[in-house]
């Protein structure tokens, strides 16, 4: 049953990255290219391109985090960790899970409160001339943090299993 739950978490994070988040990157590229061409070739900068690219980059970053954790692709300092056995790596990751969980919990707590505030009438907007609403990026923050938490729990369970089975490299 646990293996099935872990598989579902993996599939959800794989699906969200490959069929949703992956399509944000071409949109970001179009926005940036449109702004650069408009600004430097036609001298017609936009009011919306900077914030749109800012929001898209943020969404890509937060929503892609769980996918990176799924494939163990987050940046880490391998000074010692890379030399450990598979079991030693799992034990180290278990020990640092507390910090991971704390950061994700803060992100979820802050993100949920900010999302709730941005949905209260009148809808919260940025303080720029374009003034887009903030709930879409805040929804991405909460969703990304939740997916990251799920993948982190799955990794914790797998690391725990590796640590107690004394599996070698």
Question: Residue 52, SS3?
Answer: helix
User: Are the CB atoms for 63 and 23 separated by under 8 Å?
Assistant: no
Please report, rounded to a whole number, the percentage of residues in the chain having pLDDT higher than 90: 91
Query: Residue 148: what pLDDT?
Result: 98
The DSSP letter of residue 109 is: H
Of 75 and 161, more confident: 161
Q: Are 135 and 118 in contact (CB under 8 A)?
A: yes
Q: Mean pLDDT throughout 118-122?
A: 96
> Is pLDDT above 50 for 135?
yes
Q: What is the mean pLDDT of residues 141-167?
A: 94
Position 166 confidence tier, pLDDT thresholds 50, 70, 90:
low
- Sign, CA torsion 150/152/155/160: negative
Mean pLDDT of the chain: 95
Task: Give the mean pLDDT of 94-111.
Answer: 97
Residue 168 has pLDDT above 60, yes or no: no
Q: Are 19 and 157 in contact (CB under 8 A)?
A: no
Give me the mean pLDDT over the 5-15 stretch: 98
Dist CA 26 CA 21 (whole Å): 10
> Residue 125: helix, strand or coil by DSSP?
strand
Buried b (16+ CB within 10 A) or exposed e, 95-124: eebeebeeebeebbeebeebbeebeeeeeb
Residue 169 has what pLDDT?
Answer: 47
Which residues neighbour 121 within 8 Å (Cβ) at sequence distance 6 or greater? none
CA of 99: how far to CAs of 19, 54, 94, 150, in Å?
A: 30, 27, 10, 15
Q: What is the pLDDT of residues 48-80, one digit of tens each?
A: 999 999 999 999 999 999 999 999 998 887 788
Q: Distances in Å between the alpha carbon of 41 and those of 26, 38, 48, 149?
A: 21, 6, 18, 45
pLDDT given at position 69: 97
Residue 73 is predicted with a pLDDT of 92
CA gap 44, 87 in Å, rounded: 58
Read off the pTM: 0.92
pLDDT of residue 81: 86
DSSP three-state, residue 133: strand
> Can you give the pLDDT at residue 152?
98
């Amino acid at each position: 049953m646990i293996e099935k739950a872990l598989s579902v978490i993996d599939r959800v994070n794989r699906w969200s990255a490959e069929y949703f988040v992956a399509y944000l990157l071409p949109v970001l590229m179009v926005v940036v290219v449109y702004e650069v061409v408009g600004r430097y070739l036609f001298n017609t900068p936009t009011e919306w391109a900077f914030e749109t690219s800012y929001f898209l980059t943020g969404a890509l970053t937060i929503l892609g985090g769980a996918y990176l954790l799924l494939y163990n692709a987050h940046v880490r300092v391998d000074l010692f960790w890379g030399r450990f056995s598979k079991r030693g790596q799992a034990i180290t990751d278990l020990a640092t899970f507390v910090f991971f969980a704390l950061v994700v919990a803060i992100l979820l707590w802050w993100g949920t409160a900010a999302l709730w505030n941005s949905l209260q009438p009148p809808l919260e907007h940025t303080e720029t001339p374009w003034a887009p609403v903030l709930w879409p990026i805040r929804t991405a923050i909460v969703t990304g943090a939740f997916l990251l938490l799920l993948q982190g729990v799955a990794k914790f369970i797998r690391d725990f299993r590796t640590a107690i089975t004394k599996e070698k490299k």
